Amino acid sequence: MLVIKNPFKPKRPIANNDIKPVAKKHKSIFSWVTAWQIIITLMVLAFLILIHPVPERLSKYMVIGCFVISWLIIVFKLWYNFFTRGVVIIATVFIFVTFYGSNKVVVSNELINACYVENLKDYENTKYMSGGENGIGIDSSGLVRRPMIDTFIEMGLLTKNMQYIRVALRIWLDDYAISDIYNNYKDMYIDIQKFSSISEITDKTIKSGDILIYDNCSQVYIYLGNNEWIEVNANDKKTIIVSAIPALCIVQEISGKVVRWKVIDS
């Protein structure tokens, strides 16, 4: 049966009860795609800053800033859902407690020193680069500092004691030069021996991990044991290991001193 509607029939007014409320959806400032694009960009920026051999403290703060901003973006995107909000809160508390906690497991100074010496050897043949402190390029102060950073990270992961990770982070953030090491920067180093000639240095007066610095801070050698030293050689433009103390310099009558990391002094 064909039904024809009357076009002149007045329409029934819509009552308020007939209108169903529609929940308003929260409109985010930017989508997840945009958020991940920003996060990936920040991570690439952090990576480039990390490998860039400039030991400026600002650069390292920029790296930390990239990670903090990325985390805040994730928090912002997840905050409007009750479940994910709880996950974010728990994750934040977990990270905070983990980083600032300590399980009181400690290792001996001898183990730290042994690990430091092994990490020093890993940087043999690393290209010299002014201001560098990584495997891409390194200078004399970086050669002193970076293996110790690696050592404390390893100790932290091995013992699950975040105290070691915090020490590594402090060393990484606190840039300083060879002249600062010579002057026992922030009481982090101790004097072992003053000398007026290289021939005064013997195995009886020093131990592996000790740092030999000329008085003019022009050259640095770190003792590996068994009459082996590691240095950043200006002529070879890389890190090399040399044998026997007399090979350290042509001019024997040169003054300087030997210092040691305070954390490995027993």
Domain check: are 74 and 119 in the same one? no
Query: Residue 15 domain-assigned?
Result: no
Final residue of a structural domain among 55, 80, 100: 100
Domain check: are 42 and 61 in the same one? yes
pLDDT at 211: 96
pLDDT at 83: 81
pLDDT at 247: 47
Query: Residue 7 domain-assigned?
Result: no
pLDDT at 256: 92
DSSP state of 29: S
Rounded Cα distance, 61 and 64, in Å: 5
pLDDT at 5: 58
pLDDT at 246: 47
Q: How many domains does the chain have?
A: 2
Q: 3-class DSSP state for residue 149? A: helix
Final residue of a structural domain among 61, 78, 100: 100
Asked if residues 101 and 24 have their Cβ atoms less than 8 Å apart, the reply is no
Give the CATH number of the domain where residue 212 resides: 3.90.1720.10
Query: Residue 49 domain-assigned?
Result: yes
Final residue of a structural domain among 100, 133, 159: 100
pLDDT means per 10 residues, the chain with 266 residues, are: 56 55 54 77 75 64 81 80 80 75 79 96 92 87 95 91 89 89 93 88 89 91 92 89 64 82 86
Rounded Cα distance, 64 and 99, in Å: 14
Query: Residue 217 domain-assigned?
Result: yes
Which domain does 250 fall in, by range?
Answer: 109-264
Q: Interhelix angle for 57-78 vs 162-173, to 10°? A: 130
Asked if residues 253 and 189 have their Cβ atoms less than 8 Å apart, the reply is no
Domain check: are 92 and 198 in the same one? no
Residue 214: other Cβ atoms inside 10 A: 18
Asked if residues 181 and 195 have their Cβ atoms less than 8 Å apart, the reply is no
Domain check: are 95 and 113 in the same one? no
Q: What is the pLDDT of residues 217-262, one digit of tens each?
A: 888 999 999 889 999 987 889 999 988 654 455 555 688 999 999 9
